[in-house]
Amino acid sequence: MILALVWLFLLLCNSAVLVCSLNEEGVALLSLKQSVGDDPERSLDNWNSSDNDPCSWNGIQCNEGKVFSISIPKKKLVGFLPSALGSLTALRHVNLRNNKFYGSLPAGLFDAQGLQSLVLVGNAISGSIPPDVGKLSYLQTLDLSYNFLNGSLPSSLIQCKRLKYLDLSKNNLTGSLPSGFGTALISLQKLDLSSNKMNGSIPSDMGNLSSLQGTVDLSHNLFSGSIPPSLGNLPEKVYIDLSYNNLSGPIPQSGALVNRGPTAFIGNPGLCGPPLKDPCSDAAGVVAPPSYPFIPTNYPSLTPDDGSDKSGKSRGLSKSAVIAIVASNIVGICFIGVLFTYCYRKVCDCSKGKDDSGSNFEKGSKVGRKECFCFRKDESETLSETVEQHDLVPLDMQLGFDLDELLKASAFVLGKSGIGIVYKVVLENGLTLAVRRLGEGGSQRFKEFQTEVEAIGKLRHPNIATLRAYYWSVDEKLLIYDFVPNGNLASAIHGKAGMPSFTPLRWSVRLRIMRGIAKGLAYLHEFSPKKYVHGDLKPNNILLGQNLEPHIADFGLGRLANIAGASPTLQSNRIASEKPWQQQSAASEVITVGPTISSGSCYQAPEALKIVKPSQKWDVYSYGVILLEMITGRSPMVQVGTSEMDLVRWIQLCIEEKKPLSDVLDPFLAGESGSWEEEIVAALKIALACVQTSPDRRPSMRYVSDALDKLTTSTD
């Protein structure tokens, strides 16, 4: 009996030692493991109570021995969230997206008052959002979308004044927005409340959210009342989606609410005025006439004058006025007929030159003391350099739309840069286009613009963005491209700011993209009608298609913007001649129609600071930097300690210090580098050749394309 008691005592002591060996933060995390009833991928298997601390556990990151981050996304975990997580005093980030957590949000979770991001998108969490959320004064990202939350938003939410990303879409939230929502949350950059059951009016102070970007989505709710005109104070590039609510009254025609297609307002039977087809009655108030997305206000009317005055009453003509008009028309027609007959009989041959004034007609030779003037057919049909024109000019004979269809289309702002605004335009027949607006005013060099844009329009290659048409007038210049649906390469490599869900590209996909870019550049450099230089290649202007195939965009944009008077921000001040993009050589003509790379760009070649005229080797260097970015997953500027250095210098430093390949690779690629290690090393060598300091030592893009094609085809 005594021996049994001694054995039991020793057993209890050993158990106490095991429990006591794990610190308090580890014990708090074990409560999460215990709350998980199903872990099919065994993600929490190494969460052991025998460890001293949890810093080596899957999904856990520590800072100075304290739990800093919990990140276990997409692991099919089934369970509930314990309150004990709130005891982690150094916790800053929680990412449990796309699991199967259920139950309510525990109030104790919000005791972790240093929390900066809470991402629980794609679970089955129900109940209301606790008022304790107001404790999180450092919170920047709150993504609770795609859950089953109900109830109204707590008024304490406005105490999270640092909030930048708020996504509560696809829930069952009700009630109105808290008072002071727009005044308090002025740091908001992303707002998505769509697909809930929220009601009440849209607060007028939402116009104060001047940091918003992208789409403000309030669609598919029960918001009622009128649209506050103050929403027009939001940044111009913001797209406001108010569709499918119970809003009523005229649509304000101001600021960010102007030039929006009907898609932003459909599903609100009480709304009226442009861009909807339902006119406002006198009771609703008279609204401004339609304002088209791209065309200036002086664009000629698309419909004939209906003979109405400003009051809407018919302006009938008297009988005598009608008779006078008919008679004057008959006399005028007869006079023109006589004049035409006389000129036809007296027509004379014209010289081939043009007079000094640049007129479209020329003075002919004297015949029997009489001088005659005649029009030259080739010149009379050519626009002068100052003519104002309102026609859509197709660069593709199979163009399936005209200007009227373009004007009636739904338009959404995709982005804005120093070279104008880019719109996504959806025609009534479903055709989607990208339209770049080059701005208003500026020099009116139509012929020069026409020459440049038609040269670009002749380029046809699977990896070059296709220019389909253009529009020119004194006050407006538009470029119409095929729409490329999957964003740009920069977002594919690094993700978008504020977007928690990001899946890095596999190596096979990265290699396929870089092959496509190389083929596109090789075409521009050697196989196009003229040998071109892009001059501003970077991930932002490489667009990704339906299957992530690359399309090199913005080719020739800087030159066109300069001609159109849009004052592009990328345009170099180091222009030496009136045609700075032409380079003459004995063998061939090389034309650069892209802007010079700015001195602050990480993708510019070293010689760009000294040489005015770009060369094809500039593009090779830029391509090499992008290839390094794809291999390393790092930004073009790398943080090293307290300082920064460009990616090329960082790679060179890693080589000098003989760092292992795993230190250089994108961490996501490191896990699969065993399969593709030889290809990755070969691609790294190609990139290093492209970023040589001396332009003469860089390969041609044709050589680069061939070298990439020689890598094993198992990635295709």
Would you call 141 helix, strand, or coil by DSSP?
Answer: strand
Contact 261, 293 (CB under 8 A): yes
HSE-up of residue 299 (Cα within 13 Å, Cβ side): 24
* Token reading at 434: 């990208």
Check residue 525 and report its DSSP letter: I
Q: Is the peptide bond before 699 cis (omega within 30 degrees of 0)?
A: no
Q: How far apart are CA 686 and CA 698, in angstroms?
A: 10
Strands 392-394 vs 467-473: parallel, antiparallel or unpaired: antiparallel
DSSP strands (E only) in 42-176: 60-63, 66-71, 78-80, 93-95, 100-103, 117-119, 124-127, 141-143, 148-151, 165-167, 172-173
Angle, alpha carbons 436-437-442 (nearest 5°): 140
Element (H, E) at 542: strand 542-544
* Residue 59 backbone zone (phi > 0: left; psi -120 to 50: alpha; other: beta): left
Structural contact between residues 174 and 150, judged by C-beta atoms closer than 8 angstroms: yes
The token pair that represents 162 in the structure block: 């640092």
In 557-715, the DSSP E strands lie at 582-584, 589-592, 637-640, 643-646
Q: How far does the chain reach from its first CA to its final CA, in angstroms?
A: 74
396 assigned to active site: no
Q: Exposed/middle/buried for 337, CB within 10 Å: 0-12, 13-18, 19+? A: exposed
Residue 546 corresponds to which tokens in the numbers above? 């339906």
Query: Choosing from 536, 554, 619, 666, which is the catalytic residue?
Result: 536
Contact assessment for residue 202 and residue 178, using Cβ atoms and an 8 Å cutoff: no
Per DSSP (E only), the strands in 144-286 are 148-151, 165-167, 172-173, 190-192, 199-201, 215-217, 222-225, 239-241, 246-250, 270-272
- Specify the residue for token string 């859950």: 147
**HSE-CB for 559 with a 13 A CA cutoff:** 25
Distance CA 379, CA 383 (A): 8
Q: Which residue has the tokens 């290690």?
A: 677
User: How far is it, in rounded angstroms, from Cα 614 to Cα 605?
Assistant: 10
Question: Long-range CB contacts (< 8 A, 24+ apart) of 416-425?
Answer: 416/236, 416/237, 417/569, 418/567, 418/568, 418/569, 418/570, 419/554, 419/557, 419/558, 419/561, 419/566, 419/568, 419/569, 419/570, 420/561, 420/566, 421/236, 421/237, 423/293, 423/294, 424/483, 425/293, 425/483
Closest CA to 120 of 138, 93, 140: 93
CA dihedral sign, ordered 269, 271, 273, 274? negative
Structure tokens at 421: 């605004």
- Cα distances from 317 to residues 66, 303, 636, in angstroms, run 87, 21, 71
Give the span between the Cα atoms of 120 and 99, in whole angstroms.
8
Cα–Cα nearest to 715, from 557, 459, 511: 511
Residue 193, H or E segment: none
Residues with active-site annotation:
536
